[in-house]
């Protein structure tokens, strides 16, 4: 697969995910990332965070996604 097409597909997946996101804390964190001048933010996060991101991307590629409504039901008592 052409790398540019792959990147465009990832962008579309992120847009779709962001459009359903209702967690204001996570939205604020994403906005903070956007404001950072450094484009190499990957080097400033922990190994645990990197592994979590990689796992999430792998799950998305494999279609292992759950609707936000399912997540809310699962974590409702903590929200």
Among 66, 23, 46, smallest CA distance to 31 is for: 23
Percent of the chain with pLDDT over 90: 39
Q: What is the pLDDT of residue 25?
A: 92
CB-side exposure of 17: number of CA atoms within 13 Å? 14
Per-residue pLDDT at 37: 62
pLDDT of residue 68: 86
Q: Do 44 and 38 touch, CB atoms closer than 8 A?
A: yes
Between CA 41 and CA 27 the distance in angstroms is 17
Q: What is the pLDDT along the chain (79 residues), one digit of tens a residue?
A: 588 888 999 999 999 999 999 999 999 998 888 877 656 778 888 999 999 999 989 988 898 888 888 888 888 888 7
């Amino acid at each position: 697969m052409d790398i540019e097409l792959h990147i465009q597909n990832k962008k579309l997946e992120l847009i779709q995910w962001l459009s359903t996101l209702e967690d204001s804390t996570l939205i604020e964190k994403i906005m903070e990332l956007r404001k950072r001048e450094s484009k190499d933010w990957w080097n400033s996060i922990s190994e645990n965070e990197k592994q979590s991101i990689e796992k999430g991307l792998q799950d998305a590629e494999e279609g292992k996604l759950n609707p936000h409504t399912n997540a809310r039901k699962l974590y409702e008592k903590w929200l």
